[in-house]
Amino acid sequence: MTKPLSQQTIQRLAFVRFLHAQGIAQSAQPEPMSAAAILSFQDAVEHFLLISADHLEVNLPSNMHFPQYWEKLQPKLPAGQVLPSKQALGRVNKLRVDLKHHGNIPSSHAIAQSKADVTTFFTDAAQMIFNVDFETVDMADLIAHPEVAGLLREARTHFEADRVIFAMAGLALAFEELLEHYMSRKKGWGESPFTFGDRLPMFRPERSERASPVSRQLKALTTATTRMKKAMRVMALGIDYARYVHFTALTPSEISWGRDGSIKFSVDDMSRSLTADDYQLARLFVIESALQAARADAVLERLAVHYPEDMDYDVEEWTWSGPSDPQIR
């Protein structure tokens, strides 16, 4: 009987899925950047094997060599079953050693073969050891913000029902929720450092056939300022801006919230041609962005400690003095 999975094991498997997805995305990049996929694939496999050892209660020596995992895990596997892909993953490990320690860039064919071999291994081994479908391991479990994780799960539900456009809209909402989380975190020290000023109201131009130059300029300034504030917010959180632009090109635009709580979004011809690969790429971006932005949580918590909400501040004005000033000797 398969041992039940703990929440920690589920989260660790989610991280393996994240590394695997990251490797797949890297493998699609042009050479030689695609070579980084080998490192992600190998990290994902080794992490999976370590989780397997913990789950099966196998003690591993501190000086483990990669092929030994198959030998050490075998006695705890179900009767008659063998941990798969030993030879195939040995090739992946050799590519990793050649790349990391000898500077040998793998060929595009070798990267594609590694992608297939690693995917096959996870598909078979996850079912054998953990009794789970690897594709059902949800990377949303890595995200600390419940609202963002919830929207990612809702998007996945749409995707699994073959509603790709709705799934992509869900990803766009998840990203907006991520930014909103850091914008709206106000403490005793005032507005969040990721807000960059007050929200700008929607500009409504003059109701005439020909708006005045001032009206046109105000509309242009409002649009430009709104876009720049969002770009600054994205970059301040450590999110790759170029990938963000790609993400916005894939996901539905002009999302609006009605007073009744409804959410509407625009769908064009490009949206109707989105594929499963587009969805996976966009979902990985949201998850990576959430993990990257999480570094800001420590900053916000430090500010909250330094400036508590319930403290009355007694501020004095001091004058800077150099070390030669007799007043400070």
Q: How far, rounded to the nearest angstrom, does the alpha carbon of residue 1 sit from its chain's CA centroid?
A: 34
pLDDT value of position 208: 58
pLDDT tens digits, the chain, 329 residues: what are they? Answer: 457 788 899 999 999 999 999 999 999 999 999 999 999 999 999 999 999 999 999 999 888 899 999 999 999 998 889 999 999 999 999 999 999 999 999 999 999 999 999 999 999 999 999 999 998 898 999 998 999 999 999 999 999 999 999 999 999 999 999 999 988 765 555 677 888 877 777 666 656 556 677 777 888 888 888 889 999 999 999 999 999 999 999 998 778 888 888 888 888 878 888 999 999 999 999 999 999 999 888 888 887 777 776 666 677 888 888 777 666 54
Q: Please, which residues bridge with residue 263 across strands? A: 257
Q: What is the dihedral of CA 241, 247, 252, 257, to 10 degrees?
A: -50
Which amino acid does the sequence have at 167?
Answer: A
Tell me how far apart the alpha carbons of residues 182 and 200 are, in angstroms, rounded to a whole number.
17
Candidates 284, 266, 100, 102; CA nearest to 175 is 284
Q: Is 214 exposed, middle or buried (0-12, 13-18, 19+ CB in 10 A)?
A: exposed
- Looking at the chain, the domain(s) classified CATH 1.20.120 span 7-137
For residue 63, the tally of other CB atoms under 10 A from its CB is 6
pLDDT value of position 110: 97
pLDDT value of position 250: 92
pTM of the model: 0.77
Q: Cβ distance 95 to 89 under 8 Å? A: no
pLDDT value of position 328: 57
3-state SS string for the chain: CCCCCCHHHHHHHHHHHHHHHHHHHHHCCCCCHHHHHHHHHHHHHHHHHHHHHHHHCCCCCCCCCCCHHHHHHHHHCCCCCCCCCHHHHHHHHHHHHHHHHHCCCCCHHHHHHHHHHHHHHHHHHHHHHHCCCHHHCCHHHHCCCHHHHHHHHHHHHHHHCCCHHHHHHHHHHHHHHHHHHHHCCCECCECCCCCCCCCCCCCCCCCCCCCCHHHHHHHHHHHHHHHHHHHHHHHHCCCCHHHHHHHHHHCCEEEEECCCCCEEEECCHHHHCCCHHHHHHHHHHHHHHHHHHCHHHHHHHHHHHHCCCCCCCCCCCCCCCCCCCHHHC
Candidates 104, 90, 77, 95; CA nearest to 40 is 95
Tell me how far apart the alpha carbons of residues 91 and 110 are, in angstroms, rounded to a whole number.
9
Q: Cβ distance 85 to 121 under 8 Å? A: yes
Report the CATH number of the 7-137 domain: 1.20.120
Q: Cβ distance 20 to 118 under 8 Å? A: yes
Cis peptide bond prior to 201, omega within 30° of 0: no
pLDDT value of position 94: 97
Beta-carbon contacts of residue 121 (< 8 Å; ≥ 6 apart): 45, 84, 85, 88, 89
For the chain, the distance separating the N- and C-terminal CA atoms, rounded to the nearest angstrom, is: 76
pLDDT value of position 310: 65
